[in-house]
Amino acid sequence: MKTKGIQCEYIYSGSENQESIAIKWNGNKLRVLVSTTLGLVGNESSRTQLVCIVGLLYNLPSIVQSLGRIRPIQRSNVSQCRIFTNTNNQSRIQIDKNDSTTAMNELIGSGILSSDHQKKYKRSMTCTAVNKWLFEDQGCRYVSLAARLGYTQVPCNLCDACTETNVAMLGDSKREEIQLRERERENGIRLLSRLKQKCICCNKTDCDGTCVAMKQNPRVCLRCLGNHRVTKCTFDYVSILNQKACYGCYVYNYSQGTRHNIQDCSRKGGIQERLRGLIHYDYLKKKNRTKNNSDFLYHLSGIYSNEESFFKFLDRYKDFK
């Protein structure tokens, strides 16, 4: 950050110049301070608006101290406290269990902590408590934090639980969305490969995309969208796909080592003519279902608006027979 002109420093228990760095931070001469838990007490900056916690802190009072780095008087609508940690912290927790048990026994042995308060100690003064607060407690973060520390708190309406902006939840949702897009693309590529072998509207290998839709009543030609009884269309038609059959030839781009010849998309009986029939079929199906007389070119533009919409269309017909 310093190379970018950002005034920053870091401190830890054995670092030098702790006092001078604390003075700079207090005087708002630093924009970023990176610190261990050493910096949770006594380091004040009236301009602090963002606190980032990396990993699991030792106990919940450390969380409270972290939140306290942004004093109530200086909090605004952009103030944030973000916690970055793994969702699986079992190895870290197992190590902490031994340390926290030793610390608790020492406190009991010295008479500082009553043996009757062991449960209360474990609910707030251990790494396990922090993990449970993050991933198991329900509802407002402040309410559950207060309950673990033995007092009550009204919902804050600011935390990720109250505003439903939990990063882990949003991350899972985004991951599912990406996986869905990947499946749609893979299904689309497989469908394009099927179209190279045969017309899936009539299920014939010798059809070059000029078949008449047999499932429509009255029968509609999937090539020209006209009504005629012949099984092959000989009418002139406007070349609407214009070499878009593979949508930038994705089927070839995602097949390593294959060099695409543009003629494969436009030759008679190739992907383009057979895909035309499928697009026309989709248009007629939607038109009959919604009783919508929207223009066909409008329907076509919706399919070809971007890669996502193109593969979403193909995915709908992955099992079409």
> What pLDDT score does 140 carry?
92
Q: What is the pLDDT along the chain (321 residues), one digit of tens a residue?
A: 777 778 888 888 888 888 888 888 888 888 888 888 877 676 678 888 889 988 888 899 999 988 888 888 888 878 888 888 887 888 888 888 888 888 899 999 998 988 888 888 999 999 999 999 988 898 899 999 999 999 899 998 888 888 877 666 556 667 788 888 889 988 988 888 888 788 887 788 877 766 665 555 556 666 666 666 656 666 655 454 444 454 444 444 344 444 545 555 555 546 667 777 788 778 877 877 766 666 777 777 788 777 788 889 889 988 876
> What pLDDT score does 250 carry?
40
> What pLDDT score does 244 carry?
46
For the record, the structure tokens of 30 come out as 């630093």
> Does the reported pTM lie above 0.75?
no
For the record, the structure tokens of 256 come out as 């390593």
> What pLDDT score does 90 carry?
85
> What pLDDT score does 38 carry?
77
> What pLDDT score does 44 carry?
77
CA atoms within 13 A on the CB side of 164: 1
Give the 3-state secondary structure of the chain. CHHHCCCEEEECCCCCCHHHHHHHHHCCCCCEEEECHHHHCCCCCCCCCEEEEECCCCCHHHHHHHHCCCCHHHCCCCCEEEEECCCCCHHHHHHHHHHHHHHHHHHHHCCCCCHHHHHHHHHHCCHHHHHHHHHCCCCCHHHHHHHHHCCCCCCCCCCHHHHCCCHHHHHHHHHHHHHHHHHHHHHHHHHHHHHHHCECCCCECCCCCCEEECCCCCCEECCCCCCCCCCECCCCCCCCCCCCCCCCCHHHHCCCCCCCCCHHHHCCCCHHHHHHHHHHHHHHHHHHHHCCCCCHHHHHHHHCCCHHHHHHHHHHCCCCC
